[in-house]
Structure 1
Amino acid sequence: MRAAFSEALVAAAKANPNVLLLTGDHGYALFDAFRQECPEQYVNCGIAEQNMVGVAAGLAKAGFLPIVYGLSAFVPMRVLEQIKIDVCYESLKVIFIGDGAGVVYSHLGSSHQSVEDIAALRAIPNLAIYSPADRHELAYTMQTAMASSQASYLRMGKADLGDVHSTIPDSDMQAVLPILVRDNAKTLILATGAMVSTALKLASQRRDVDVYSVPCIKPIAKDQIYELCKDRDNILSFEEHSIYGGLGSGISEIIAGNIICNFKIVGINDKFSKYCGDYHYLIDYHELSHQKLEALLNN
């Protein structure tokens, strides 16, 4: 996924000289190709993320298209006020990239993990939120963000989990994308980001589960989700994010009062990562591992 992101950045900058990449002293190897191909469009703002968003807002007012990159614990979490006031309140077009979302930076502890970024941004007007599951969704969400007239936040989680699509989805990115669909399945999993591959693995062992990817969290595809949820016995949402304010909350807002079924939000429970360990350890600690979810699906 990170390679696709690098390629998308270079392509965007070559196509439009007004595209500028701003980074808060992060992503050196990731941006080697960009600095080689478009050195005049690369700006290292240093470890001053709040100032970096202010700089991006000024550049956007001057006619540039700033792409602001940082770890998701810092972009958007450290710069939330600046995103709200400097960019979105002014209806400016700035693309924010939050890398390492969820518990990717496992060994660095809760200070570098970001499981509340979607919740923090969902209530801010004039801002789209994307959560791609693989390199194909990444490329398409980048294209959509570039074409949009408003600000966007693109959330990149665990980047090496493999593809869930064979090609870039030929669909409106406000749509929910089918991954594994069967006739008359009574259980539906709506997943986003890194959890799509987990949902696919779980469903491949069963015959009664449909899996759809939701790469666009905001605006969310209300009509399509409502239609998908009708006549199901069980609906689950999978996300590497807090159970509060993320994809599951968006789905529950759509179906509340209209659909009677068992609905379960699967995500990070209301707790920090108390212990350090690798990514797979923390996924299991937060009960998002294949084994933990298989037991949930069987109950």
Structure 2
Amino acid sequence: MRRAFLNRVAEMIRSEPDTTYFTVDIGMWAIRDVLRDYPARCTNVGIYEDGMFSVAAGMARRGLVPTIFGIQPYLIERTLEQIKMDFAYQKLGVNVVGTGAAVDYPKYGYSHYCAEDAAVIKQIPGCEFVAPGSAKQFLQLFDQSYRNGHPTFFRVSDHPNTVHDPDVEFGKAVVVQRGSRATVIAVSVMLDMVMEACAGQDVTVLYYTTLEPFDGKTLAENCPSGKVLLCEPEYAGTLDHDVLSALSGRPVQIDSVAFPREIFRNYGTYDEKMEHYGLTAERIRQTLGALV
């Protein structure tokens, strides 16, 4: 996904003179020619996320279209005041692309984890949150939304889906499979394992890549049982409010396969962490079995 994003940014800077790009000491080598050729609009600002956000806000106020790239926890948590006051309060269109989703950088420890990113951004009215599951989906979602005038946060992952890669639309869920006994929501990079777990099951599978705004209409139209299994690569409970709102007035039973709400103090590879915290096809199969 990172490579697809950086290629798209290089193309954007070269062909769209009202766009700007900032990075914080990451991804410079991949677009070094653009950084050299367009220094007024394409800059590595160094380790300075909060200042970068305010500069981008100023450019957006002047009618430019800024895109920012960095590591997810620093883009979300270090700059929270700037997100709230510079972006959301002033209703500015800025694109924030973060790498290092959840536990994508396991060897660097807790400072580089960000399982809370979607929940934090969803609490700031007016902000949008996008979590593509593949490079193709990132390009589709970015192209559909980068000029929409809203602060839009893109979570890119180094561990995309490799089997299931449907076309996606910003703000819309994809109905991947229909059934009657439960509705399984697969978020972003969880789609492959959800489809493995749901093979041969009489359940509906909905695939979400836009988490804010949440497509409650598709869920309401595709949840005959009132039973929902949320499979999300972020903290458990991130989408509970959206599900309950979409199914308001109906009996609802929710279970989840997601990261537990705790500080991650252990160490290991990405796959070991996913196994340890139960984000696996086997865990989804077991949880779904109990739900239905």
Change (3 A) 1:32 1:198: farther
Change (3 A) 1:62 1:268: same
2:172 to 162, 171, 175: 175
Q: Percent identity?
A: 22
Deviation, 1:233, is: 5.6
Q: TM-score, normalised by structure 2?
A: 0.91
Are the aligned partners of 2:216 and 2:246 in contact in 1 as well (CA < 8 Å)? yes
Range moving further from structure 2, 74-83 or 140-149: 140-149
Deviation, 1:192, is: 1.3
Counterpart AA for 2:135 = R
Are the aligned partners of 1:248 and 1:265 in contact in 2 as well (CA < 8 Å)? no
Range moving further from structure 2, 100-109 or 184-193: 184-193
Deviation, 1:29, is: 4.2
Deviation, 1:203, is: 1.7
Counting only pairs closer than 5 Å after superposition, residues 101-250 of structure 1 correspond to structure 2 as 101-162=101-162, 164-165=164-165, 168-169=167-168, 171=169, 173-179=170-176, 181-182=177-178, 184-204=179-199, 206-229=200-223, 231-232=224-225, 234-244=227-237, 246-250=238-242
Aligned to 1:298: 289
Are the aligned partners of 1:103 and 1:240 in contact in 2 as well (CA < 8 Å)? no
Are the aligned partners of 1:202 and 1:294 in contact in 2 as well (CA < 8 Å)? yes
User: RMSD of the alignment, in Å?
Assistant: 2.1
Change (3 A) 1:253 1:208: same
Counterpart AA for 2:239 = L
Deviation, 1:84, is: 0.7
Give secondary structure in 2 for the equivalent of 1:53.
helix
Change (3 A) 1:33 1:220: farther
Give secondary structure in 2 for the equivalent of 1:17.
coil
Aligned partners of 2:192, 2:271: CA distance in 1, in Å?
Answer: 14
Aligned partners of 1:30, 1:203: CA distance in 2, in Å?
Answer: 39
Aligned to 1:85: 85
Give secondary structure in 2 for the equivalent of 1:58.
helix
Counterpart AA for 1:254 = A
Counting only pairs closer than 5 Å after superposition, residues 237-276 of structure 1 correspond to structure 2 as 237-244=230-237, 246-256=238-248, 258-276=249-267
Aligned partners of 2:232, 2:259: CA distance in 1, in Å?
Answer: 8
Change (3 A) 1:58 1:66: same
Aligned partners of 1:78, 1:185: CA distance in 2, in Å?
Answer: 44
Aligned length: 290
Change (3 A) 1:149 1:286: same
Aligned partners of 1:131, 1:97: CA distance in 2, in Å?
Answer: 10
Counterpart AA for 1:185 = S
Note the residue ranges of structure 1 that are not aligned, 5 or more in a row: none
Counterpart AA for 2:213 = P
Are the aligned partners of 2:94 and 2:149 in contact in 1 as well (CA < 8 Å)? no
Change (3 A) 1:247 1:10: farther
Are the aligned partners of 2:161 and 2:191 in contact in 1 as well (CA < 8 Å)? no
Range moving further from structure 2, 13-22 or 38-47: 38-47
Counterpart AA for 2:75 = V
Aligned partners of 1:187, 1:37: CA distance in 2, in Å?
Answer: 54
Q: TM-score, normalised by structure 1?
A: 0.89
Counterpart AA for 2:121 = L
Aligned partners of 1:259, 1:37: CA distance in 2, in Å?
Answer: 57
